[in-house]
A and B are shown apart, each in its own frame.
Chain A
């Protein structure tokens, strides 16, 4: 067996949690076209200016939904997030009238190749 390093897309549905007057998702984002992409520790390509998940609060809605640290957010509720500023991204995630956000994320993963499935 051997290791393959690849990325795959995942759809994640997060139900926002109400905390006082705010609806929170339970994670932090970094990145954006107005930011410095070389500081991004999660991106493979250091010119990638996309939005990345930098922290996931424990027990929060994002963690429950399966969001992981290092994920790159490609779409939020159909809105593209690959060419947005940091503030635009924040706004799209924290719309007051939305209780559920459906994210399309890209995750890089190191997985053992499944030889059996190939053989079978």
Chain B
């Protein structure tokens, strides 16, 4: 058991990544600020100091009746035990988070294309059309997904290529319409003066506008892989295709075959195609961009593990687009997922597990008695006086108190540390050896607040999220921009509350892969009552839709002169 505890101690040390040498150098280089605490000692006994803190707090309490020594001793032993076991479990969890446990599917998304940078940060990969084929860690399923996603990637690339080819084709067609007569039967063409030139100019500019508009609308970095084809885009592509093909058909029959000599007519024909393409572009803008802007639905996203929820207003979107929208907002709205904060401490729950045994005397056929038995057990367990809520309440109060105490210490330490640093003014005469750049300054003051910070992070179970490197970087950032300690929040705002996921170091906490689980096909539009789930390995976001109600606004005119008041009388007269 001691071995395992040692191992967990090592893992606990890794997230903070405390490195001795550079700090000592920094301390030596700068005229010592604040407390020269021996850092090495600190590192080897993190937990002992914790337990000592716990004990010092418990000594004043006796929430269980009995001031006797034996009970206090017993309580101390239990507390030490409890804190050790908690640290142990936390150690376990930090191990799993660091391990590269991402499934194989992630590798697919980082194929070595030159487009690699463009694929953005989130990926949704379909693993089946119904929810039955999802949610089990099955090797066969993973291999099947690999094949599927490989296939899908090909088709996605294919889709983009197809769209590009079609766009190019549509773009070049008017030019072709105008050039072909010139090339093929130039001599026979009627001369066409000013009108044609005007038309040429208008074609040129319209094509330019079309080009710019298409670039703005279509050639943006895709922010996500959608599991299914984007219906509107497919529709538009089909429309363009039909349009261009029909124009070519008529052109071929009426102009090429019969060698029409009216060049102005040909040019006007080309111009009409460009106009039609511009209108299709307008249609694309409306369908792809505008229709979704007006809010029609309220989406409620709830995280399954801790119940954090948010509401979002969206317009008409398909389920897959709504899912991507939710994910974009998830990263800056939801506090970061912290598995350590999930469960009730084991000591509180352990008591519930002792059960009743039910013996049936006599009867042999107990088939229909089994449910009766289990119900009896549950009812009996519920009726039994259960004090675990009491434990939980005191545990919570204790934790709160501890957190506040540590936060106070942290704030004071940070404030104090910042008083040692001052921005160099031009007129100050300073020895060049004493001048530091932000990084060194950060390192210099880090030492004096490191201990308080470390203890605080451990209490709030945030220590996996902040490595020493990230803390130093943030310090450097604050010092460079002259932020007061309050902004840092006492590292405040960044450390005192669990921030949204996006502010933490990208590689570790930004998930690249989510699974969309839905009962309806994901290209269906949102409707009232649609529920879909966005899954990660250890938690999921349940999203439910509600239609924004139709508001009947009626008008009531209030004449400003109608505001009149009287005193409320309640006299009492004695007679």
Q: Are A27 and B575 touching (Cβ within 8 A)? A: yes
Query: In the bound complex, how far is the Cα of B571 from the Cα of A57, in angstroms?
Result: 17
Q: Are B574 and A86 touching (Cβ within 8 A)? A: no
Name the A residues within 8 Å of B573 (CB-CB): 28-30, 86, 90
Q: Are A35 and B570 touching (Cβ within 8 A)? A: yes
Interface string of B560-575 (1 = CB under 8 A from A): 0000000011111111
A104 interface contact, C-beta 8 A:
no
Q: Are A28 and B574 touching (Cβ within 8 A)? A: yes
Please, which residue of chain A has its CB at the minimum distance from the CB of B567?
A36
Query: In the bound complex, how far is the Cα of B573 from the Cα of A55, in angstroms?
Result: 10
Partner of A93, one of B570, B571, B572, B575: B575
Interface of B is mostly: loop
Partner of A35, one of B569, B574, B575: B569
A24 interface contact, C-beta 8 A:
yes
Contact-residue size bin, chain A (C-beta under 8 Å from the other chain): 10 to 19
Partner of A55, one of B568, B570, B571, B572: B572
Please, which residue of chain B has its CB at the minimum distance from the CB of A25?
B575
- Number of B residues contacting the other chain (C-beta, 8 Å)? 8
Name the A residues within 8 Å of B572 (CB-CB): 28-30, 54-55
Please, which residue of chain B has its CB at the minimum distance from the CB of A35?
B569
Query: In the bound complex, how far is the Cα of B572 from the Cα of A29, in angstroms?
Result: 6
Interface of A is mostly: mixed
**Which residues in chain B, 453-482, are within 8 Å of chain A measured between CB atoms?**
none
**Which residues in chain A, 31-86, are within 8 Å of chain B measured between CB atoms?**
32, 34-36, 39-40, 54-55, 57, 86
Q: Are A36 and B575 touching (Cβ within 8 A)? A: no
Partner of B575, one of A29, A34, A39: A29
Query: In the bound complex, how far is the Cα of B568 from the Cα of A30, in angstroms?
Result: 13
Please, which residue of chain B has its CB at the minimum distance from the CB of A62?
B575
Name the A residues within 8 Å of B571 (CB-CB): 30, 32, 35, 86
Partner of B574, one of A39, A40, A55: A55
Query: In the bound complex, how far is the Cα of B572 from the Cα of A55, in angstroms?
Result: 9
Query: In the bound complex, how far is the Cα of B575 from the Cα of A23, in angstroms?
Result: 8
Please, which residue of chain A has its CB at the minimum distance from the CB of B573?
A90
| Minimum C-beta distance from A42 to chain B (A) | 12
**Which residues in chain B, 526-569, are within 8 Å of chain A measured between CB atoms?**
568-569
A106 interface contact, C-beta 8 A:
no
Name the B residues within 8 Å of A24 (CB-CB): 574-575
Given contacts A28-B575, A32-B571, 18 further A-B contacts (CB under 8 A): A27-B575, A28-B572, A28-B573, A28-B574, A29-B573, A30-B570, A32-B569, A35-B570, A35-B571, A36-B568, A36-B570, A39-B570, A40-B570, A57-B574, A86-B569, A86-B573, A93-B575, A94-B575
Q: Could you list which residues of chain B lie within 8 angstroms of chain A, going by C-beta atoms?
A: 568-575
| Nearest 10 A/B pairs, CB to CB | A28-B574, A39-B570, A93-B575, A36-B568, A35-B569, A30-B572, A25-B575, A90-B573, A28-B572, A54-B572
